[in-house]
Every structure is written in structure tokens, then in C-alpha cells.
Amino acid sequence: MDKSLVRPRSLVREAASLRAGVPTPAVHVDRLCARIEQVDPLIHAFVPEPGRADRLQAEARALVARHPDPAQAPPLYGVAVGIKDTVHVDGLPTHGGSLLPPGVLAGPQATVVDRLRAAGALVAGKTVTAEFAGSAPGRTRNPHRPEHTPGGSSSGSAAAVAAGLVPLAIGTQTIGSVVRPAAYCGVVGFRPTFGRIPTAGVLPNAPSFDTVGLFTADLAGAALAAPLLCDDWDHEAGPDDGAGGGAWADGAPVLGVPVGPYLDRAGPEARQAFDRQLALLAARGLTVRRLDLLPDFEELERQAQTVNRFEMAASHTDWFARFGDLYRPETAASIRHGRTVDPADRAAALRARTAFRERLAERRQRAGVDLLLAPSATGPAPLGLDSTGSAVMSLPWSFAGLPALSLPAGVTAAGLPLGLQVVGEAGADERLLALAAVLERVLDGA
């Protein structure tokens, strides 16, 4: 590993420094652009942008004019953010990782970008995505091992945070496109409850699943950003985890592990690391319960693919008819497959999803489980750039629309990161972040 490529930055510290006036936004932009010029030619996290420095300096001057006293400025004052290239940003073209003319894909600025800018953030640029947030990889390389994939489809966003180009980046997840690249790149990836961050202004993949998420270096960064981006954030939610002094309170979270055919999909390195993590958590006094939650996992996979392919084809009906020859083979194959799906089959799969969501909630409540744990991916980032890896470890939770996050959880013998996936209850994103902080402290102290 070239250690100069891996330098994640704390969003909390950076935001506090900028609001303290050191550095100024202008100096911060100079440093940001210098880092991008130094590192990005090696990892290709950002979509190339002529005149990036001039644009950002102009935006920094406008920000200072609006907020002359940084101490009174909004919480992300001057913080540079990466935005996945499926998310519309005023002043920047949206390519969706494709060869389609950007004007065809243009649209109003996304709600998530409106919220970031209202919080004082500067848009560092568009980050590379797999084509239309699908399976055709972009150019991005993993900062830990540039010959390995960073994961996808939010590849550029995860790599940009891991490489310290930005402390916060926006991605999207249909099945596994935030949690998986976060694990591969050794950062935190947070996918809120489906619909918690509006998808207005985001190119659709499968609207029944598409969820806006974010990447940060640590959980504290996610906890700072999430309330600014999610609808109706409850700042009072989230119990005292009782972690002070290393002793858990009576309310310490109960952890559930979904054993069976789902967990069997994890490879040996992921399973061995996961077993070590569970043993460590149990040794620190946390209750771990193994549950047979997903006996019909293969059927869930089939249902999710039915909805995904049908909706992807529907989302691209007009564009594919006009520009089908410009699509990558993997994307074109998915769209053609989606055209063969009977609408009745999609409707049946959506009904099955509702039943699954209700069944899962009932089983969790009956077992007294606060969080579900699983590997974030089937293993470390695969060698090569022709695939973004398997999203299967995220599939059931994305299918159910549950909030989930990936915590960095050690490395393999070869130095590749691994992630621990933590899954909360629908709508309880605040509680997920609060309880996950317990796990982060244990893992960091191991």
C-alpha cells in the first residue's frame, strides 16, 4: 500500500476548524485542489473538471460574503464534499458514468445538494460512478491497493474519502452501492432508511430501492452529516449506551446475527474476521443472538432482481431508445432483461417485500434484538477493475428498506480493509448511529 494514498480526514475536526477561521475557505480550497491534483491521477475518484480551482475559489468568496463571521456560520461552513455523478449539481454536468450527452440527463439540483449547500458546504466536484449506478465499473481505483476495485457503484465517493480528498461524500445505494465500497475502502458508509433523504434530482436506477447515502472517515462524521440531510431528524433519539469506563449499562444493545444461507455467502476471510468481531463484542459484555432470519434467502434474491431489473428498464425507456448504442454491455444487458419482466411479477415481488419487512420486524422484536450484524461484503476488495464486487451481503436489508452502515473492521493479511455491517430498524436511523458508536469504540480499542 502507498500510505500517501490513504489519508482519511475527520469531518468533525475539519468543520470545527473552518468555523474557527483556521484555515479560511480560500486557503482550504487551495489545499483541497493541491491534494486532488496530487492524488486523483492515481485513483480517479473525481470526474475531471477543467477550472475546478477557479470555481471553488469563487464559491468560497461567495460563502464568506454570506457568512462573514465563521463562528456564526452553518455547521458545514467551507467543508468540501464529493457528489456522486448520478446526483444533479447546479453548474456541473451529470454524466451518470455514461457516454450519453449530459444535456439529455440534465435536471434540477438534487435536494441533498440543496441541503449541503444550505449547511455551508462547497461541492468539490462530481465523483466517479459505475454507469447509471449499475454494474459497469468506472475508472476509480482503491486507494489501499490501486490494482483492486474500490467497489461500486459509489466508487469515487468511497475512494475520495479514503484518500483524504474530501471528508464527506455523497453516494447512492440500490442494493449495496454504499455499504460495499465503504468496506472495500476502509471508511464509514451510511445508508439511511429508504426515503429518509429525498431522491429528487438523482438519476433513477430502481426507484423502489434507490437511497441516498454518505461516506465519512468515522462514525462521528456520519452523525454530524446525517441530521443535516435526513428528513425529520430527532436530535433527542438514541439512548445512553453506558460505555463510560468500559462498563455497559443495562440498556446495552442486543446484537442479532442472521445465520443460515445468507451468512454462508460470505467468503472465508470475511467470516473469520466476523467471528473474531462477534467474540470481541461478546467478551465486552454485549449479548449476541444467532437467528434464522433468512431461510428463504434465494427467493429474496430473485424478488429483488425482479424489481430491480424491471424498474431499471422503465427508468431508461426513453434514453435507451435514443442512445442504446452508447450504453456499456453490462448496463444494456440489465435493461434488456428488465424489458422481459412481467409487470405482474414485479407487483408480486413488491408484495413479498412488504411481507418480508413485516416478518423481519416481528422476528427482531420477539428476539429482543436492537441491531443486526453481518459482514459488509463477501470479503475484501477483489483484484482487478472489471467488477465492483458482490452486493449480496446488503441485499436483504436494502430489499426491506432498512438503515444500515459499514464500520471499518480490520484488515486482511494482505492489508485490505474489511467492514462490519450494522443494520437498524426502519425509521430508527438516529438509534442506529447512537448504538453503532458502542461497536465502533470496541472495535477501535481491539
Enzyme catalytic residues: 84, 153, 177
DSSP states along 349-412 = HHHHHHHHHHHHHHHHHHHT-SEEEEESSSSSPPBBSS-----GGGHHHHHHT--EEEEEEEE-
Are residues 328 and 136 in contact, defined by beta-carbon separation less than 8 angstroms?
yes
Measured in degrees and rounded to the nearest 5, phi and psi for residue 400 equal -85, -10
Cα–Cα distance, 49 to 254 (Å, whole number) = 47
Cα–Cα distance, 216 to 175 (Å, whole number) = 19
Q: Which three cell numbers stand for residue 406?
A: 459499514
Could you tell me which of 256, 221, 231 has the C-alpha nearest to residue 429? Answer: 231
Cα–Cα distance, 390 to 387 (Å, whole number) = 9
Cα–Cα distance, 103 to 94 (Å, whole number) = 8
Cα–Cα distance, 33 to 37 (Å, whole number) = 6
Q: How many angstroms from the chain centroid is the CA of residue 323? A: 29
Instruction: Tell me the CA distances in angstroms from 315 to 91, 93, 202, 339, one per residue in order.
Output: 24, 19, 12, 11
